[in-house]
A = this chain, B = another copy of it.
Amino acid sequence: MSATATETAAPLRRQILDTARHLLVSEGYPSLSMRRIAQAIGYSATSIYLHFANKDALFHALIDEGFARLYEILVAASQSADEPTERLAALAHGYVAFGLANPELYEIMFLLHPAHMARYPAENYRRARLGLDLFGATLADGVKSGAFVEMPLRPATAVVWSALHGAVSLVLANRLDSRIEREPFFDAVVAGALAPLVAGR
């Protein structure tokens, strides 16, 4: 039974995840229900529970994939520039781009977590931290090379991150004055986040 199954594994799980993500993106969070996912793939709702303990677990899996994807993007951004200031800017733009390109994913990853879901398991959270570490490493490099001022690393990383997160989440929530154009806004955010760090001036 599991003779060939070892490689094929269980495609239903994948199908559930893909359908859930697709449904999330196309119809939005509120209309994403177990029954709807099941109906979309032609199974009964309860069969989802054969692959996920509950709805939260399904979301956590979705979040996992989101973090993996974000990490890929940040790694690519990180490799696109060597000089710390440029690299940090590239990371920042990569982060913002990810958020804007995947609003629903960003939402379940960072936004509507605490109130609506069981806590995201701490172990999975390391994946999320990996992305942050790229920021931290770049800061450290910059400090070492003299491009950045001396600073306590962890809080400084969090400050940069929170500036980016604030900007992304306000835009995603449509909270920004519509007269403000996005691109200049994000440029200003990134510039504002980097400015206090740069040693030169």
* A residues with CB within 8 A of B: 28-30, 107, 110-116, 129, 152, 154-156, 158-159, 161-167, 169-170, 172-177, 179-181, 184-185, 188-189, 191-193, 195-196
For the complex, what is the distance from the CA of A21 to the CA of B80, rounded to whole Å? 49
A29-B116, A166-B166 known; 5 new pairs, CB 8 Å cut-off, are A30-B115, A112-B112, A155-B185, A159-B188, A163-B189
- Given A112-B116, A115-B112: A165 and B155 within 8 A (CB)? no
B-chain residues with CB within 8 Å of residue A184 when the two chains form the complex: 152, 155
Residue of B nearest to A164 (CB): B166
Write 25 A-B pairs (CB below 8 A) sorted by A numbering.
A30-B116, A107-B114, A110-B173, A111-B111, A112-B112, A112-B116, A154-B177, A155-B180, A155-B181, A155-B184, A158-B177, A159-B188, A159-B189, A159-B192, A161-B170, A162-B163, A162-B170, A163-B193, A165-B166, A191-B196, A192-B192, A192-B193, A192-B196, A195-B195, A195-B196
One complex includes copies of this chain to the number of: 2
Residue in contact with A163 in the complex, picked from B116, B163, B180, CB distance below 8 Å = B163
How far apart are A136's CB and chain B's nearest CB, in angstroms? 10
Residues of B within 8 Å of A158, CB to CB, are: 170, 176-177, 180, 185
Q: What chain B residues lie within 8 Å of A191 (beta carbons)?
A: 196
Chain B min CB distance to A42 (Å): 27
A30 to B173 alpha-carbon distance, docked (Å)? 20
Instruction: Among B28, B166, B195, point to the contact of A115 (Cβ < 8 A).
Output: B28
Cα–Cα distance between A14 and B161 once the two chains are bound (Å): 40
Name the B residues within 8 Å of A173 (CB-CB). 110-111, 113-114
